[in-house]
Amino acid sequence: NAGVTQTPKFQVLKTGQSMTLQCAQDMNHEYMSWYRQDPGMGLRLIHYSVGAGITDQGEVPNGYNVSRSTTEDFPLRLLSAAPSQTSVYFCASSSLPGQGLNGYTFGSGTRLTVV
Amino acid sequence: GEDVEQSLFLSVREGDSSVINCTYTDSSSTYLYWYKQEPGAGLQLLTYIFSNMDMKQDQRLTVLLNKKDKHLSLRIADTQTGDSAIYFCAESIGGGADGLTFGKGTHLIIQP
């Protein structure tokens, strides 16, 4: 019972590099979202998706792209990494209201450092 | 806009009850959640309450919702050292389709 799987767990990038953070869930959840967690800031929503083919911006979308070609996968792309994107990134998924447990299930996070 | 506020720290003695408070501003919130985060770990859903409820109890956890004052609280009975963590309050609107808005988290410190 994997739940939400994020890879990699740790990553160091140089300024200007691009990379993709992977997120996969095996619970057939429609809703998925990406957050970043910074000290003293809590979690802030980057992008979210309500189903395959549908994505939208959250509170802090600049510098990130997402796509949702399948129900299971929701990758987050950093186009040109900047030191300000050093953070811990969490992916989460949720079923539709009334279908099973309400509330988002979170992955274990990706700790990204941009130097 | 949406805003969720929490105190940053709470210190309690082992065996006492802990009460973590949260206020939110969006009156259209449909679900309100409490998540727990231990050091270096992800977020664990503790409990949630639907906006048409006033109270929910689950073993040692009691959630109280005051919709008039937009105030949510989490009470942990008989606090144990394993309860030491950061507790996040979060709200969703429209059933959660557009993600969650989190507070900054309350660090629960347990004194022996």
pLDDT in tens, A42-94: 899 999 999 999 999 999 999 999 999 999 999 999 999 999 999 999 999 99
Give the pLDDT of residue B31. Answer: 84
Asked if A97 is an interface residue toward chain B (Cβ–Cβ < 8 A), one would say: yes
Element (H, E) at A38: strand A31-38
Asked if B88 is an interface residue toward chain A (Cβ–Cβ < 8 A), one would say: yes
Measured between alpha carbons, how far is residue B103 from residues A16, A107, B78 in Å? 31, 19, 24
Q: What are the start-end ranges of the E strands in B1-112?
A: 4-6, 9-13, 18-24, 29-37, 43-50, 55-58, 61-66, 71-76, 85-93, 101-102, 106-111
Q: How far is the C-alpha of A78 from the C-alpha of A62, rounded, in Å?
A: 10
pLDDT in tens, B60-88: 999 999 988 999 999 999 999 999 999 99
Kindly report the number of other CB atoms within 10 A of residue A82's CB atom.
Answer: 14
Chain A residue with Cα closest to B95? A97
Degrees to nearest 5, angle at CA B52 with B47 and B57: 35
Element (H, E) at A33: strand A31-38
Q: How far is the C-alpha of A91 from the C-alpha of A112, rounded, in Å?
A: 14
Q: Which of B42, B101, B105 sits opposite A107 (nearest CB)?
A: B42
